[in-house]
């Protein structure tokens, strides 16, 4: 497996979403395995749904063990290193925003590469971004975050639209990924700060 910009962005997204899921598990006072499990679902769930939707089976997360290892390590790190419960809630939200940006962008690009039309690719990008968090929330019995905060999936959709438009211009890929992921991240953080 060659190290592409898309792979690096994907693995960073896996790590931050795993930490986000693990934080949610810690907040719910789950034991070690529960924390790692929710972390792995949050980290890999969106990408697995994406791969099922574009017919890329077995999904990437099952054919490349690096994904699972990164997810488990990030969840374990969070479990052992987390300082206090109070500060965690904010950490979850920031990590979640970063994962949202990265997964939306790589998901949209994978859908476009699989020849999904523009509108569908944007939605698949959004699902890649919000799918893991949705699984995390369903598992921990929370009302899904996407239903409660208007500028969550909307930030993801906006970014997916920008990716789809710019992908046609054949922009430099690392630049495209970094820029649009950052855009989603910032929009999401601004929405968080406003509340």
User: Which positions touch a copy of itself (CB under 8 A)?
Assistant: 25, 30-34, 37-38, 48, 52-55, 57-59, 61-63, 65, 68, 111, 114, 116-121, 123-124, 138-141, 143-144, 146-148, 150, 153-154
Helix 150-167 and helix 173-194, axial crossing angle in degrees, nearest 10: 160
Tokens encoding 30: 């789950």
On the CB side of 179, CA atoms within 13 Å amount to 10
Of 37 and 103, the one with the shorter C-beta distance to a copy of itself is 37
In angstroms, what CA-CA distances link 11 with 7, 57, 99, 106, 195?
6, 19, 10, 11, 30
Of 57 and 165, the one with the shorter C-beta distance to a copy of itself is 57
Q: How far is the CB of 34 from a copy of itself (least distance, A)?
A: 4
Burial 48-59 (b: 16+ CB within 10 A, else e): bbbbebbebeeb
Q: How far is the CB of 30 from a copy of itself (least distance, A)?
A: 6
Q: How far is the CB of 36 from a copy of itself (least distance, A)?
A: 10
Of 149 and 178, the one with the shorter C-beta distance to a copy of itself is 149
Q: How far is the CB of 158 from a copy of itself (least distance, A)?
A: 12
Tokens encoding 38: 């929710």
- Provide the 10 A C-beta neighbour count for residue 193: 7
Of 118 and 171, the one with the shorter C-beta distance to a copy of itself is 118
Q: How far is the CB of 147 from a copy of itself (least distance, A)?
A: 4
């Amino acid at each position: 497996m060659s190290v592409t910009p898309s792979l690096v962005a994907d693995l960073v997204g896996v790590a931050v979403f795993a930490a986000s899921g693990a934080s949610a598990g810690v907040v719910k006072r789950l034991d070690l395995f529960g924390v790692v499990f929710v972390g792995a679902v949050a980290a890999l769930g969106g990408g697995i749904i994406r791969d099922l939707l574009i017919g890329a089976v077995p999904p990437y997360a099952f054919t490349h063990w690096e994904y699972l290892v990164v997810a488990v390590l990030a969840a374990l790190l969070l479990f052992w290193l987390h300082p206090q419960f109070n500060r965690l809630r904010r950490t979850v939200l920031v990590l979640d925003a970063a994962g949202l940006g990265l997964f939306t962008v790589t998901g949209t690009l994978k859908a476009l590469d699989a020849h999904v039309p523009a509108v569908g690719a944007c939605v698949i990008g959004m699902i890649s971004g919000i799918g893991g968090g949705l699984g995390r929330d369903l598992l921990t019995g929370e009302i899904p975050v996407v239903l409660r905060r208007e500028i969550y999936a909307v930030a993801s959709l906006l970014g997916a639209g920008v990716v789809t438009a710019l992908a046609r211009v054949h922009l430099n890929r690392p630049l495209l990924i970094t820029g649009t992921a950052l855009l989603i991240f910032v929009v999401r953080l601004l929405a968080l700060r406003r509340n």
